[in-house]
Amino acid sequence: MNNKEPLAFRVRPKTLEEYVGQEHVLGEGKLLYRTIKADRLSSLILFGPPGCGKTSLAKVISETTKYKFYKINAVTSGVGDIKKVVEETRNYMLNPVGKSILFIDEIHRFNKLQQDALLPYVENGTIILIGATTENPYFEVNKALISRSMVIKLNPLTEENVFKILKNAITRKDGLGEYNINIEDSTLRKLANIANGDVRTALNGLEVAVLTTQMDKDGNINITDEVLQNSVQQRKAVFDKNGDTHYDNISAFIKSMRGSDPDATLFYLARAINGGEDPVFLARRIVIAASEDVGMANPNALLVATSAMQAVHMIGMPEARIILAEAAVYVATSKKSNATYLGINKAIEDVNNKDTGEIPMHIRNAPVEGMELLGYSKGYLYPHNFPGHIVEQQYFPDKMLGTKYYIKDENIEF
């Protein structure tokens, strides 16, 4: 109980056999499994959500490789730390192999200059880089580093994975094995479920429960559902409003509205709200979907969406969730047409890339007396003077005659 190292640190695996989860890359016979076993690693970028085992995998590699292993954290380290590792690696008295493995936790925190400093040493093989990040490396990591590395995506651990790790932690001597802990498997499974794929959250919750529970007269520590509930509080949300999940979730939200699935729309809206997403940002996305995806199939959707955005401004959370839900479901259940979206995109493309000619003189404005003598507005037919308030006349420049931008589809009734 007096061990200063947290439980999650103490029970990290030391071998591939102890490592739990990520079978899609670490299953026996898989490429990463084979390269670690053979100690033939190339540079790696590991990315995945918190608590999925990135640092634990680096720990396994450090225990199994013949190369000198260095670990730095991008939050507290800089170019000087990289140079120090390189100098020690090149010192044949300290490192006869002349190569080392450098693990950089939270590599996305390195700026461009710091990442560039790694490049020559990764390229010439002095350093085998293992970078860990919770962010999508294709957005956050130097493309030159990406091209020289294997990018491995680690998934959130399954409930069964987390349950297995918790069971091991209770029995391991370097974990909680020296204490008489009574806990039902069903209670451990509830903790695994609450952790939502983050094993660090689960282990921290278990440790808090054990540390704060009094022993009974027989020296037992009895962990019940209630004790765990008070130790962890609520289910961990897999959402970071500033990270990769922000983009994934908003993409799924928009595509669910576009795909006319109101249930999925509400699900991704709930994830965004639960993750602390800005409600005004969500309202703006609904307005855009109302125009881009519903369009002329139901122009009223834009009115509903813009009214919702105004109401969200006025009301704020938590009540704004109701307004957002109503507008999102209205957009999701409306008929869809992207005719105006396609039309304006094509028109802008033509304006940018073509010689589109001159505006016909008869539809130009003639605000000053005498301009008619030059042909401005001469011959213009005022539509309201004709039956049905429509009259045939040329509006396009000569070079654009016959062009079609707005092409009605089956969902447009007018």
| pLDDT at residue 253 in the model | 95
Least trusted range by pLDDT, from 17-21, 39-43, 369-373: 369-373
Check if the beta carbon of residue 339 is closer than 8 Å to that of residue 412: yes
Q: In the structure, what pLDDT confidence band is assigned to residue 114 with cuts at 50, 70 and 90?
A: confident
State mean pLDDT over 190-205.
Answer: 86
Give 246-269 pLDDT, tens digit per residue.
Answer: 778 899 999 999 999 999 999 999
Residue 219, token pair as written in the block: 């020296």
User: Which CATH code fits 22-153?
Assistant: 3.40.50.300
CA–CA distances in Å: residue 154 to residues 8, 46, 54, 243 = 18, 7, 8, 16
Rounded CA separation 297/110 (Å): 48
Mean pLDDT (the chain) is 87
Check if the beta carbon of residue 273 is closer than 8 Å to that of residue 279: yes
pTM of the predicted model as reported, rounded to 2 decimal places: 0.64
- With CA atoms as reference, report the closest residue to 122 among 138, 108, 101: 101
CATH topology agreement for domains 22-153 and 159-232:
no
pLDDT of residue 369 exceeding 60, the answer is: yes
Residue 268, token pair as written in the block: 């991704």
Residues 6+ apart with CB under 8 A from 85: 70, 72, 100, 102, 127
Q: Which CATH class is domain 159-232?
A: mainly alpha
CATH of 244-333, one of 1.10.1370.30, 3.30.479.30, 3.40.50.1820, 1.20.272.10: 1.20.272.10
Q: How far apart are the first and last CA of the chain?
A: 74
Check if the beta carbon of residue 378 is closer than 8 Å to that of residue 361: yes
Spell out the domain ranges in the chain. Answer: 22-153, 159-232, 244-333
pLDDT of residue 239 exceeding 60, the answer is: no
Rounded CA separation 377/88 (Å): 81
Residue 351, token pair as written in the block: 């304006």
Asked if the peptide bond before residue 367 counts as cis, ω within 30 degrees of 0, the response is: no
Type and span of the H or E element at 44: strand 44-47
pLDDT of residue 303 exceeding 70, the answer is: yes
Residue 143, token pair as written in the block: 């493309």
